[in-house]
Chain A
Amino acid sequence: MRKVFPWELLSGGKPYIILLILFLLMYVATDYPPLGGGGVANYDPKIYPDPFKIEDPYRGQVLQIGPALDIGWNAFEVWWFSFPVVIALAVLLFSYDIDRGLLRTYMLSRASRTSLFIGKLAAMFVAVYIPLVVSGALILALADPTLFLADPLLVWGGLWLTLQGWALMMYVMVGFSVFSAVALKKPLYAFVTPYVAIYAIGMVRLPPEIGNLIPPRPFIFIDHVTRFWSDVWPSLATATALLVLSYIIFTRMEQP
């Protein structure tokens, strides 16, 4: 495992590319009107509302340095932007057809299939969570409530919950995408299927008791602590079950 993990994380620069795209997407993803859909890169002080001209600067105030720092980020957007990136990483790491060379290297060595699976999964989590940690650190470092005239309670009080929700949402993405990459042989199918499946289920008018459990909907309510776990746990449990299933398939799969 300790030999597999660094190679999986560092070899070929794949995770770096994914990480970079994910990080950029997080900055770009916003529906905050004054930013016109742009992120930090599109920052234009001219279109920023002058906080001193707003009657109540704390009401509905959203941090404006960019959506990665924006604790009022929209779970839907982060999900639909990040999900394909996470699936792409899963397919690159787990799809036999894509990573045949590396998999054969392992198969003809003393590395066990279990170490290989855990190493790949660990590399995946690290690559996915690094942007989250970096964003969190930036928020802590830059999101001075006084500077941005945001509600201090919303910044410092909501930060942990926001990051938690974000992390859990990423975990659900990883569970779905790893299963797809392991279970479906063709990389293209493995890439498209989970995205389309979740999108299609979201389009179907299911009863709210069920519909609200399908991601990314459970993650909208991250500021409602009482509903948070009750809404989120079914998708977390499903993601965990899919990871276990992926492990079983991966360790019993032939790699001819």
Chain B
Amino acid sequence: MNNIVVTENLWKHFGRTVALQDVSLEVPEGSLYLLIGPNGSGKSTLLKILTGVVKPSKGNVQVFGLNPWKQRTKLFQRTRAMFEDHPLPALATGQEFLTYMAKLQGLNNPKQAALKAAQLFDVNTFWDRPTRVYSSGMKRKLALAQAFLGNPDLLILDEPTVTLDQNARNQLKDLIQKGLENKKTFIIAAHVLAESEELATHTAFLADGKIHVQGRIQDLANQYGASRITIETKNHIQTAKTLMDAGYSNITITNQGLELAVPPGETEKVSKALQQNQTEAKITKTWIDLWTIYKQAIKKTP
């Protein structure tokens, strides 16, 4: 698989503040790369370097084989981005803004392209008003709509779900899913895990400007024992007992049922154990607990 983004020993200083320290990562084509880290960990700085808005102090960056700082205009032929603090021209309407972005992007029929992008997040229902009167959620939807203009090959999104309502979150998730099916690449930065977590194929955890863990999520889950199964049941005690009898010990009781930490690929085995004991319980979700990976990775970092 081709790597669309490659950074090598990347450093960024803002005066005396070190925002990024020796960051090296690779983002394969067709992946959803989830950058997770607390506030001020350097996620946004990294994304701004990838988009050529900020110049790295040291190290190499390549996006589609291009240097983002020097070849930003070429890079944006295939890339779109949205930042957490995405400012919008206050006096322009949403429609003017999107149409203008489509023009700058060199899209054929910019008005049509703007409408298409607006419809993805229902922005066209309020886009005839100036952006300064928008709520934070509306602004975020508009910023997201501009990011999806022209169906880019690489989409860089910084905290995309903050201030979004559930409907818009679902719309975003569907769009990402569709994009992944079409070999589009996504880099998403977040400080809390949201819907996009479920679709992520790769991840990196940043703290204090350093990457503490990174790689393919499935590999990391195997390495750190982060595979989880969610079981829905009304009889928590009996189900837990059945699972313990089957040799599982890492069980957490939740409101809806149980959460079970299992080695990878154990879903069927757990399912059989539940059926054999005629327990009234069903597996509703198999997933990877990314926080477990991050927590353990930080513990291991010297």
A contacts, CB < 8 Å to B: 3, 7, 11-14, 100-102, 104-112, 254-256
The A-B contact count (CB < 8 A) is: 67
Number of interface residues of B (CB under 8 A): 33
CB pair B83–A109 under 8 Å, yes or no, is no
Q: Does B88 contact A (CB under 8 A)?
A: yes
Nearest CB on B from A67, distance (A)? 32
B53 & A254 in contact (Cβ 8 Å cutoff): yes
Q: Report the nearest A residue to B106, measured CB to CB.
A: A110
Cβ contact within 8 Å between B101 and A109: yes
Q: Are A254 and B54 in contact (CB under 8 A)?
A: yes
Distance between A220 CB and nearest chain B CB, rounded to angstroms: 39
Instruction: List 18 A–B pairs whose Cβ atoms lie within 8 Å, in order of A's numbering.
Output: A3-B103, A3-B104, A11-B89, A11-B96, A12-B92, A101-B88, A101-B89, A101-B131, A104-B83, A104-B86, A105-B97, A105-B100, A107-B72, A108-B51, A109-B101, A110-B77, A110-B105, A256-B53
User: Within 8 Å of chain A (Cβ to Cβ): is B55?
Assistant: yes
CB distance from A78 to the nearest CB of B (A): 29
In the assembly, what is the distance between CA of A105 and CA of B149, in Å?
A: 13
What is the distance, in angstroms, from A103's C-beta to the closest C-beta of chain B? Answer: 8
The 4 closest A-B pairs by CB, nearest first: A12-B91, A101-B87, A109-B104, A101-B89
Beyond A110-B104, A111-B73, A112-B73, whether A13 also contacts B54 by CB under 8 A is no
Chain B residues whose C-beta falls within 8 Å of the C-beta of A101 in the assembled complex: 87-90, 131
Per-position 1/0 for B39-72, Cβ under 8 A of A: 0000001001001111100000000000000001
Task: Tell me, yes or no, whether B27 is within 8 Å of chain A by CB.
Answer: no
In this complex, what residue of A is CB-closest to B104?
A109
B81 on interface, CB distance cutoff 8 Å: yes
A254 to B56, CA, bound (A): 10
- Residue B248 is within 8 A (CB to CB) of chain A in the complex: no
Distance, CA A13 to CA B130, complexed state (A)? 13
Contact status B105-A107, CB under 8 Å: no
> CB < 8 Å: which of B53, B88, B103 contacts A255?
B53
A contact residues around B131 at 8 Å (CB): 101
Are A105 and B73 interface neighbours, CB within 8 A?
A: no
Bound Cα distance from A12 to B48, whole angstroms: 27
Contacts of A105 in B (CB 8 A): 88-89, 97, 100-101, 104
Nearest Cβ on chain B to A169's Cβ, whole angstroms: 30
